[in-house]
Amino acid sequence: MTETILQLFRNCSRSVFALFIAILLFNQSATAAPDGKALFTSNCAACHNPLKDATGPALKDIDKTFPSKEWGYKWVNNSQALVTAGDKDAVAIFNKFNKIPMTAFPSLSHEDIDAILKYVDEFKDPNAKKPGTETPVEAKSNSSIYTWITLGLIVIAIGMWRLSSTLRKSANDKSGIPNYKDIPLGRNKVVIAMVVILGFIFVGYWITNGAINEGRQQNYQPVQPIFYSHKVHAGINQINCQYCHAGAEKSKQAMIPSVNVCMNCHKQINEYSGAADHPLVTTEGKTVNGTEEIKKLYAAAGWDPTAKAYIKDEKGNIKTQKVEWVKIHNLPDHVYFNHSQHVKVGKVQCQQCHGEITEMDEVYQFAPLSMGWCVNCHRQTGVQFDNGYYNNVYKKYHEEMKSGARTKVTVDDIGGTECQKCHY
Ligand code: HEC
Ligand code: HEC
Ligand code: HEC
Ligand code: HEC
Ligand code: HEC
Ligand code: HEC
């Protein structure tokens, strides 16, 4: 009788332990980013939302409307080729979206496209993921649930193990088998080893997670000293990004414009007349008076809008102050990132890394800026191999491209995932 109970308990504690390991593994795989998501974010998110029409249509379940699977691949690889060939479905979609051509993605394989479509089809509306919330809340509460379940299971496993050894002792007593000397829990080698290993796993996991997330702040959206809207400037009024961020093509830094750049236009424009068409509202829902915000610019510039002149002190100096914009994107000091390399040489669009800025009143950090994010894109993105920079190097790749054995040369192929390229 006691033997069977004993057996039962042994089995039980074993399966509890197995469950616990399974949860550990599941927890790990739950945090690993699926490929489809990364591909979608780096290639499609600038123009597509899974759920809402943006520049292009909402993509959730779009594959169910394709004339054929092949057609879908062709579309994503090069939609304009289909349109020019007169494919009637393609032409209809193109016309419906005001003839905005979609970027061609000749480098995406069928598996890549399947992964993207799977990701958008399974996409669920994460209401909590509003810009401004600094950490995705659901992910956090999820992982703490796992932690509690795990801790609970450990307690149960230890309890069962103790119970089973007590039972064994009494069973042995009954049948007259001499007991091993009872080793206290704290000195049992197996227990000590288990505790040390688990301790390592958990402490390691928490520390690396904490270190990785520290200073990384996707969706970060600080309040700026002047409510300056990118939507009003770069969107509605179509001002080129590089008018203000002139460094993006020429140097490492894109640079934030000085007050003088603002005043090129705002000596004339002293009020915001667009409130009827595009009212300005903060993420908290407060209405903003654009004209008052322009006055803040004047205060910083030292400009008198009634006299239409700069205010001068006794010595005749203009006292222009800097506007203390809060920096949103911050890479750690040990990382080297260069805008002109990406914008000029690599022809990467601002939107791929910064999101649809022309739709943002207040800018927020769109990309995670994690190492995985940089490296993923380098693995997937082709360099502009025939733009002259690579004429006299990588002979092998040139030959392979010519013979058709290779369709693209990725950043990875030219060494873009080597540690020292990104780390000082
Ligand atoms: C530069 C903006 C842009 C990017 C980037 C972009 N698309 Fe599009 N996409 C569009 C537009 C605009 C349309 C509507 C058709 C048109 O005007 O050509 C469209 C249409 C589509 C359609 C056809 C919809 C239908 O009705 O069948 C699919 C599928 C699609 N996109 C998938 C993707 C995928 C997958 C990616 C990323 C690999 C992507 N798009 C990236 C702009 C874009
Ligand atoms: C009229 C000037 C102007 C234009 C045009 C403009 N910006 Fe900006 N941009 C600013 C100012 C000022 C800031 C700092 C305040 C802020 O973050 O909103 C800024 C901030 C940014 C930031 C955040 C920088 C940080 O702190 O990390 C990004 C990214 C950005 N701009 C991208 C763009 C892109 C992309 C475009 C074109 C679609 C664009 N900007 C057009 C003036 C401009
Ligand atoms: C390949 C990705 C990528 C592309 C493309 C890109 N940026 Fe950036 N941008 C970044 C990263 C990463 C940072 C943070 C840099 C840092 O902290 O040193 C950044 C920072 C900025 C900043 C903050 C000031 C600065 O120079 O650090 C501005 C403004 C900005 N980008 C504007 C732009 C504009 C405008 C474009 C398009 C012309 C653009 N970016 C294209 C990745 C990109
Ligand atoms: C190339 C011209 C141009 C430049 C440069 C420019 N603006 Fe503007 N700004 C405009 C226009 C156009 C409007 C919209 C006026 C309207 O709709 O009546 C505007 C509106 C505004 C508004 C009211 C709407 C809002 O966004 O809150 C503010 C504040 C403002 N600008 C601040 C700035 C600042 C700060 C800079 C420099 C970083 C700057 N502007 C640079 C053209 C410019
Ligand atoms: C949207 C895609 C994309 C993202 C995201 C991206 N890169 Fe790149 N990167 C490129 C492309 C394309 C090139 C190739 C430019 C060229 O032809 O030299 C490149 C080139 C580079 C190079 C030069 C590599 C070499 O071998 O010469 C460095 C360094 C680099 N990137 C750093 C970064 C860092 C750091 C980040 C993240 C903060 C990042 N990149 C994010 C697309 C990207
Ligand atoms: C394409 C650019 C790129 C390449 C290549 C790259 N890294 Fe990184 N690395 C980054 C960025 C960006 C960060 C900052 C991540 C963050 O703040 O979360 C980083 C962070 C790190 C960190 C600090 C970890 C942390 O959480 O702060 C270490 C360590 C590191 N990288 C090691 C390496 C090693 C080793 C290699 C070569 C196998 C490598 N990196 C290659 C871009 C790169």
Cα(422) to ligand 6 centroid in Å equals: 7
Cα(78) to ligand 1 centroid in Å equals: 10
Higher pLDDT, 230 or 157: 230
The mean pLDDT value for 384-411 works out to 86
CB of residue 57 inside a 6 A radius of ligand 1: yes
CB of residue 280 inside a 6 A radius of ligand 1: no
Question: Residue 1, SS3?
Answer: coil
Statement: residue 138 has pLDDT above 70: no
Question: Residue 4, SS3?
Answer: helix
pLDDT band for 351, please (50, 70, 90 cuts). very high
State the pLDDT at residue 141.
43
- Which residue puts its alpha carbon closest to atom 34 of ligand 1? 44
The mean pLDDT value for 360-371 works out to 92
251-267 confidence digits (pLDDT tens):
999 999 999 999 999 99
Q: Which of 223, 230, 266 to probe ligand 4 with, by most ligand atoms within 8 A of CB?
A: 266
% of the chain surpassing 70 pLDDT: 82
State the pLDDT at residue 87.
92
Statement: residue 31 has pLDDT above 90: no
Contact 134, 215 (CB under 8 A): no
Statement: residue 204 has pLDDT above 80: no
- Which residue puts its alpha carbon closest to atom 21 of ligand 3? 254
- Which residue puts its alpha carbon closest to atom 2 of ligand 4? 265
Cα(102) to ligand 1 centroid in Å equals: 5
43-84 confidence digits (pLDDT tens):
888 778 888 887 788 999 999 999 999 999 999 999 989 998
Count the Cβ atoms, other than its own, within 10 Å of residue 420.
8
Higher pLDDT, 116 or 283: 116
What is the average pLDDT score of the chain? 82
Residues having CB closer than 6 A to ligand 6 are 211-212, 215-216, 331-332, 335, 370-371, 374-375, 378, 417-419, 421-423
The mean pLDDT value for 270-278 works out to 91
State the pLDDT at residue 349.
93
The mean pLDDT value for 207-226 works out to 72
178-190 confidence digits (pLDDT tens):
666 666 666 778 8
pLDDT band for 195, please (50, 70, 90 cuts). confident
Residue ranges of the alpha helices (H) in 43-188? 69-77, 79-84, 88-96, 110-121, 137-175
The mean pLDDT value for 318-333 works out to 91
State the pLDDT at residue 335.
95
Q: Which of 224, 272, 288 to probe ligand 4 with, by most ligand atoms within 8 A of CB?
A: 272
The mean pLDDT value for 298-308 works out to 93
State the pLDDT at residue 39.
87
- Which residue puts its alpha carbon closest to atom 10 of ligand 3? 353
- Select from 76, 75, 73, 70 the least CA-distant residue to 91: 75
CB of residue 331 inside a 6 A radius of ligand 3: yes
Cα(245) to ligand 6 centroid in Å equals: 26
Lowest mean pLDDT among 287-296, 300-309, 390-399: 390-399
Statement: residue 302 has pLDDT above 90: yes
- Which residue puts its alpha carbon closest to atom 12 of ligand 6? 371
State the pLDDT at residue 130.
45
Statement: residue 26 has pLDDT above 60: no
State the pLDDT at residue 136.
39
Alpha-carbon distances of 267 from 236, 289, 297, rounded to whole Å: 20, 18, 10
CB of residue 119 inside a 6 A radius of ligand 1: no
The mean pLDDT value for 230-234 works out to 95
Lowest mean pLDDT among 181-190, 277-286, 379-388: 181-190
Statement: residue 284 has pLDDT above 80: yes
Residues having CB closer than 6 A to ligand 5 are 42, 331, 335-337, 341-342, 345-346, 348, 352-353, 369, 373-374, 377-378, 381, 383-384, 411, 414-416, 421-422
State the pLDDT at residue 8.
56
pLDDT band for 350, please (50, 70, 90 cuts). very high
The 3-class SS string of 377-395 reads: HHHHCECCCCCCCCCCCCH
Higher pLDDT, 408 or 189: 408
State the pLDDT at residue 25.
44
State the pLDDT at residue 210.
56
How far apart, in whole angstroms, are the C-alpha atoms of residue 127 and residue 135?
A: 13
Statement: residue 38 has pLDDT above 60: yes
Q: Which residues contact 3 (CB under 8 A, 6 or more apart)?
A: 171
Q: Which residues contact 297 (CB under 8 A, 6 or more apart)?
A: 226, 259, 262, 263, 266, 303, 323
